[in-house]
Structure 1
Amino acid sequence: MSDDARTYDAGRIHVIEGLEAIRKRPGMYVGSTSQRGLHQMVYEALSPAVHGVLKRGAGSVDVTLTSDGGVRVADDGPGVPFESAGDTAAPGLEARLTRVYAGWELGGSRVVRLDLFGVGLSTVNALSSRLTAEVRREGVREIQEYARGVALAPPLPAGPATGSGTTLAFWPDAGLFETTECSYDVLAERFRDLAFLNRGLRMTLTDERPPGGAGTERFEGGVRDFVACLETDAGNAPVHPDILSFEVEDPRMAGSVEVALRWSDSGEQVVRSFANSRRTHEGGEHVEGFRAGLAAALTAYARERRLLTAADPDLAADRVGEGLTAVLSVKLDRPEFHGATRTLLAGAEVRSCVEEAVRVRVGAWLERHPEQASAVVHRIVGGAGRG
């Protein structure tokens, strides 16, 4: 045994806390020091902005990739005060920027979660070479500047304010990331998804970087628009004119499910699933419930119309999914996931509630629209579905 091993004691333990820990291991907090981690920084800054405007029912969030390599996230929400107003209030903006895990509202809020591990704005501040925070509230504008997570001065008045909102401008630390250049296309796709999934949310993405920049795109709409956009991207021709859509609130899963779907002439299926506006790439219980409910509704309709005989098996989920374009979004008070990355949704009650909602609503749509139902069911039962 070496002398070093024999003399190991508490004096050799180095405790790293707060923002120092984030800067020491940035990949642990944003997933990577590559461009993927850089984009995650943008999402971390975006989460509270989106949540703030949606609490008001509607609003705008504008993201700008600035010509000097920075990112600016501005919202027209109520404006987050730098200091909390009383012991029971949520932490103020300064606390959110300097304290790990500060600022998230828990329980019943159905927060739009774009952050990776719940660390929030402190991650953005810690991993930026500089950051400027601006608050417009009650007719006053205040500004505070930071360098590598450390405040350079207290918040300072900067004149009168028109309207309200919060703006964060930050410059990712080039010493911590492999690149500090965001991908316009990657961010645009994510922002488009957010606007589609949250009615009333308007988002813009502006690129001011040389040469010339890519201009500005605006995103807004709903899940029906989302399905139409996915169909256009894939070049699919719809089998029926209407996009079926519905939203159901269910206290048994402490949340809601929203669905939009339509079948096309393609043999491929495109199903995008989300939980609290986060893409669930691996699927989960909500997806299983959706597929089961869809198969049950179509099987019941086909048997009632004698398109399936008593000897025919029920329609399987993969069979009814051929040519399907669908968006499935659940918003839950207490979402549960398998794994830390939250891309596989858990919860048996979510599955049963989604399955019931889909079975009942799709079944009712088939009954109310016999011509469109006939086109869908005949395609599945008698045509492409049989392979």
Structure 2
Amino acid sequence: MSEEATSYDASYIQVLEGLEAVRKRPGMYVGSTSERGLRHMVFEVADRAVNEVLDGRATSVDVTLTPDGGVCVNDDGPGIPIDEPGALGGSGLEALLTQMQAGAGAGSRRNVTLGFGVGPAVVNALSRRMTAEVRREGVRWVQEYARGVAAIPVTEAGTATGSGTTIAFWPDPDVFGAEEFSFDALEERFRELAFLNQGLQISLTDLRRPDDSRSVRLRFPGGARDFVAFLDGHAAMSAPMDTIAFEYEDSRMAGVMEVAFRWCSCPEERVRSFANSRPTVNGTHTVGFRNGMTAAVTVYAREQGLLTATDSDLGAERIGEGLTAVVSVKLDRPEFEGSTRGVLGNAEVHDCVERAVQDHLGRWLKEDPERAAALIDRILQGPRRD
């Protein structure tokens, strides 16, 4: 062993603090320095604005991709507090833009976390420039940053018309190179949020290419029912049944579920699941949904003599052919498995979702026997494969 190796001591340990650590290891905070990382930058800034709407303090969020490569996020809420100190001192605005949040908190059922939950301070550190405008109590306040460092203090800049907050940032090319924001990827996530939160209105506008600008306004009063129709697209034209949709609060799981589903003529299964508006790949809510579907269909088929005593129960895979569904739960205390938070682990959610789905589907089957018979026959025979 060399003398250099044996002399290793505390002096070799590099300690990075605050925003210095963010710039040194950006992937740890926004996932990557590719387009995916840029996308999470948008989510970290938009997170606060979206929750302003969900909490009833604002009516809409507007996100704009600007011609000079920046992103502008605007809301019409009351405006970030200016004079109230942050947790570590400084104005409320400056604290928000310079102090990292704890990161990836579970959040209550009433709030959503779009990105990793590290906050806009991380975005500030990874941007060559960030500007903030706050319109609050008739006064307009502004501040500007360069790579996370304040270029000017919070400054009063005249009177304000209306209220709200606008934060704009320009990613640092030293970190992200020539990567660009994907309009389609941003639209997909914002569309999900608008489907899952019926009071939310988000607009996304792309002004980067004047000859090819585009804009979408996302608001879906029908919630999960609208989401199912969107996922089905043209396949819904041949659906053998209407969409079954319900919202139900269950104190046993300290939360609320919103479920919508229907079958169509295509053979594929499309089941999308979410916990506190976060996409999930599996979990107790999805298992409960499938078990509830299986129980309702099997019980009805046996009661109507469509399955004989010697026939085995219908399996979830068989019932799922041609099924389009959205299963969303919002919990006060969500428990996720693993660091990616893609699997919901709350055990009580399984029984709550299973019982609610079985009850609602079972009721539909009994109330519309003609269409119920057609559905059961379709499941027994299998969907047509063109």
Shared fold, TM over 0.5: yes
Amino acid in structure 1 at the alignment position of 2:255:
G
Amino acid in structure 2 at the alignment position of 1:14:
Q
Match of 1:279 in 2: 279
Amino acid in structure 1 at the alignment position of 2:274:
F
Change (3 A) 1:165 1:105: farther
Change (3 A) 1:165 1:240: farther
Quote the Cα distance in structure 2 between the aligned partners of 1:364 and 1:83.
Answer: 56
Alignment of 1:216-235 (within 5 A): 216-221=215-220, 222-232=223-233, 235=235
Change (3 A) 1:194 1:320: same
Matched residue of 1:242: which SS? coil
Deviation at 1:252, TM superposition (A): 1.7
Quote the Cα distance in structure 2 between the aligned partners of 1:178 and 1:287.
Answer: 40
Q: Residue by residue, what CA displacement relative to the aligned partner does 1:21-58 show, whole Å, maximum 9, x if unpaired?
A: 11111111111111111111111112111111110077
Match of 1:35 in 2: 35
Deviation at 1:92, TM superposition (A): 2.7
Deviation at 1:286, TM superposition (A): 1.1
Q: Are 1:340 and 2:328 an aligned pair? A: no
Matched residue of 1:308: which SS? coil
Q: Residue by residue, what CA displacement relative to the aligned partner does 1:172-203 show, whole Å, maximum 9, x if unpaired?
A: 11111143411111111111111111001111
Alignment of 1:1-387 (within 5 A): 1-56=1-56, 59-84=59-84, 92-101=92-101, 108-116=108-116, 118-221=117-220, 222-232=223-233, 235-280=235-280, 282-384=281-383
* Greater mean alpha carbon deviation, residues 201-210 or residues 106-115: 106-115
Matched residue of 1:237: which SS? helix
Amino acid in structure 2 at the alignment position of 1:99:
Q
Count residues in correspondence.
381
Deviation at 1:383, TM superposition (A): 4.1
Amino acid in structure 2 at the alignment position of 1:242:
D
Deviation at 1:94, TM superposition (A): 2.0
Change (3 A) 1:143 1:50: same
Quote the Cα distance in structure 1 between the aligned partners of 2:250 and 2:205.
Answer: 38
Deviation at 1:70, TM superposition (A): 0.2
Question: Contact 2:67–2:209 at 8 Å: present in 1 too?
Answer: yes
* Greater mean alpha carbon deviation, residues 14-23 or residues 72-81: 72-81
Q: Residue by residue, what CA displacement relative to the aligned partner does 1:148-184 show, whole Å, maximum 9, x if unpaired?
A: 1111222111222222222110001111114341111
Question: Contact 2:293–2:361 at 8 Å: present in 1 too?
Answer: yes
Q: Residue by residue, what CA displacement relative to the aligned partner does 1:256-301 show, whole Å, maximum 9, x if unpaired?
A: 1101111101111111111111111x22221111111111111111
Q: CA RMSD in A?
A: 2.4
Matched residue of 1:17: which SS? coil
Question: Contact 1:140–1:159 at 8 Å: present in 2 too?
Answer: yes
* Greater mean alpha carbon deviation, residues 161-170 or residues 259-268: 161-170
Quote the Cα distance in structure 2 between the aligned partners of 1:86 and 1:71.
Answer: 25
Quote the Cα distance in structure 1 between the aligned partners of 2:178 and 2:327.
Answer: 34
Unaligned runs of 5+ in 2: none
Change (3 A) 1:265 1:183: same
Change (3 A) 1:147 1:68: same
Question: Contact 2:58–2:78 at 8 Å: present in 1 too?
Answer: no
Question: Contact 1:172–1:180 at 8 Å: present in 2 too?
Answer: no
Quote the Cα distance in structure 1 between the aligned partners of 2:250 and 2:239.
Answer: 31
Quote the Cα distance in structure 1 between the aligned partners of 2:132 and 2:57.
Answer: 24
Unaligned runs of 5+ in 1: none
Question: Contact 1:289–1:353 at 8 Å: present in 2 too?
Answer: yes
* Greater mean alpha carbon deviation, residues 289-298 or residues 101-110: 101-110
For normalisation by structure 1, the TM-score amounts to 0.92
Quote the Cα distance in structure 1 between the aligned partners of 2:102 and 2:13.
Answer: 26
Quote the Cα distance in structure 2 between the aligned partners of 1:198 and 1:218.
Answer: 14
Amino acid in structure 1 at the alignment position of 2:160:
A
Matched residue of 1:379: which SS? helix
Question: Contact 2:80–2:165 at 8 Å: present in 1 too?
Answer: yes
Change (3 A) 1:368 1:57: farther
Quote the Cα distance in structure 2 between the aligned partners of 1:129 and 1:103.
Answer: 23
For normalisation by structure 2, the TM-score amounts to 0.92
The percent identity for this pair of structures is 59
Quote the Cα distance in structure 2 between the aligned partners of 1:299 and 1:269.
Answer: 19
Matched residue of 1:288: which SS? helix
Amino acid in structure 1 at the alignment position of 2:194:
A
